[in-house]
């Protein structure tokens, strides 16, 4: 498809404008600074390194594997009292609607190594991160309606600390994006009888044009409706899996394997420590074990043409709808053709 067209996002029920011909225009836009030099294995100034003091005054233990602690500057608090809500009432008829929320926020240091991103960790180390995601999700889902596991990687994504880490925010409400996906998956189940993302995974596996990498249990694609240039949707490919805690041991092994292969391809695409925001979407715990929700992860990288040229969401994207220049098929082919071995000099 070389001409402008719109694609429908089955998960959010939004549209995205695709303009392939614009990829030929000369580029004179913003060039971001290149990623900083390689980091040391331990940085005595880093708040997240083992044994170091954090900004709060707390000191990290001398941890030797994946380490989790309560966020010192949490966006959600477990005991937000109802009387702390501003004056507007929590009534649907009120113009200035406001409701109290409570929750917990945690930080996951993937490794004590300051210089090892997920892409550079061995598969065995990534497997420990997977186990940590499962354990933390299971704990928080027992008390909260939504658990958001995510990672912001790279300065360009606003990551405030270069030590490879992720976060978990759990809250007593269903956030906007999750609510849209829940409604879309339920609608598909009611109208088609199947699980939306399981049907979609099978469709992408049969087509192959947007597949980046797959193994026995998982498939990673640049989705048909992708907004970001090298966006990825990671899904179980052959079984209905509502949440991380529903993964069998071999599926957890395969998840560690595909994460290593996918994220290494990201790094090799522009020969840089590839930035992104990623996160898991699980079945909302408050709603029970629905038959329509499928576990999946989104990866949203900002890079467009090189390690220093970023895609910006401005103008039409902010005021109209999302728009992209290179097609998802071209993006998938570029990633698929990258090696899944670490760049020379990268330690794994």
CA distance 282 to 137: 9
* pLDDT value, residue 32: 55
How confident is the chain (348 residues) per 10-residue block, as mean pLDDT?
87 92 56 64 96 95 97 88 55 77 96 96 98 97 96 88 95 95 95 96 98 98 97 96 96 98 96 95 68 96 90 90 93 95 59
* pLDDT value, residue 346: 46
Give the sign of the dihedral formed by CA 304, CA 263, CA 67, CA 148: positive
Q: Catalytic positions, please?
A: 165
* pLDDT value, residue 34: 54
- Tell me 342's DSSP state: P
* pLDDT value, residue 3: 83
Burial classification of residue 24, based on how many CB atoms lie within 10 Å of its CB (0-12 exposed, 13-18 middle, 19 or more buried): exposed
- Residues 6 or more apart from 212 whose CB is under 8 A from it? 220, 221, 222, 232, 262, 265, 332, 335, 336
| 3-state class (DSSP) for residue 56 | coil
Q: Please, which residues bridge with residue 31 across strands?
A: 309
Confirm if 162 and 273 have CB atoms less than 8 A apart. Answer: no
Distance of CA 173 to the CA centre of its chain: 20
Residue carrying structure tokens 């009611």? 190
Residue 220: closest CA among 187, 257, 262, 249 = 262
Residue 74: closest CA among 164, 153, 178, 148 = 148
End-to-end CA distance of the chain: 39
| 3-state class (DSSP) for residue 137 | helix
Helix, strand, coil percentages for the chain (3-state, nearest 5): 30, 20, 50
* pTM exceeding 0.85: yes
* pLDDT value, residue 27: 47
131: part of which helix (H) or strand (E)? helix 123-141
């Amino acid at each position: 498809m070389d001409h402008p067209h719109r694609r429908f996002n089955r998960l959010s029920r939004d549209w995205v404008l695709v303009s392939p011909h614009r990829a030929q225009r000369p580029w004179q836009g913003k060039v971001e600074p290149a990623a900083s030099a390689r980091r040391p294995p331990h940085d005595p100034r880093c708040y997240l390194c083992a044994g170091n003091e954090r900004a709060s005054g707390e000191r990290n233990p001398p941890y030797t594997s994946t380490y989790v602690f309560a966020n010192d500057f949490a966006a959600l608090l477990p005991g937000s009292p109802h009387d702390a809500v501003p004056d507007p009432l929590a009534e649907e008829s009120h113009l200035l609607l406001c409701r109290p929320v409570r929750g917990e926020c945690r930080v996951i240091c993937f490794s004590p190594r300051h210089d090892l991103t997920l892409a550079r960790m061995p598969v065995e180390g990534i497997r420990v991160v997977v186990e940590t995601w499962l354990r933390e999700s299971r704990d928080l889902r027992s008390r909260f309606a939504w658990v958001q596991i995510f990672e912001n990687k790279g300065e360009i994504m606003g990551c405030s600390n270069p030590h490879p880490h992720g976060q978990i925010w759990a809250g007593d409400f269903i956030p906007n994006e999750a609510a849209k996906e829940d409604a879309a998956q339920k609608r598909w189940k009611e109208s088609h009888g199947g699980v939306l993302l399981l049907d979609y995974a099978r469709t992408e596996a049969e087509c192959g044009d947007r597949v980046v990498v797959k193994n026995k249990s998982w498939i990673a694609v640049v989705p048909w409706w992708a907004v970001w240039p090298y966006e990825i949707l990671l899904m179980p490919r052959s079984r209905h899996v509502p949440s991380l805690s529903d993964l069998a041991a071999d599926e957890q092994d395969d998840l560690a394997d595909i994460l290593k292969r996918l994220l290494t391809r990201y790094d090799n695409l522009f020969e840089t420590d590839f930035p992104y925001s990623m996160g898991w979407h699980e079945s909302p715990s408050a709603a029970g074990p629905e038959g329509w929700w499928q576990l999946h992860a989104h990866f949203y990288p900002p890079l467009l043409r090189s390690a220093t040229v970023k895609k910006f969401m401005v103008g039409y994207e902010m005021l109209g709808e999302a728009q992209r220049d290179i097609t998802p098929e071209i993006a998938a082919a570029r990633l698929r053709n990258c090696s899944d071995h670490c760049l020379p000099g990268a330690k794994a």
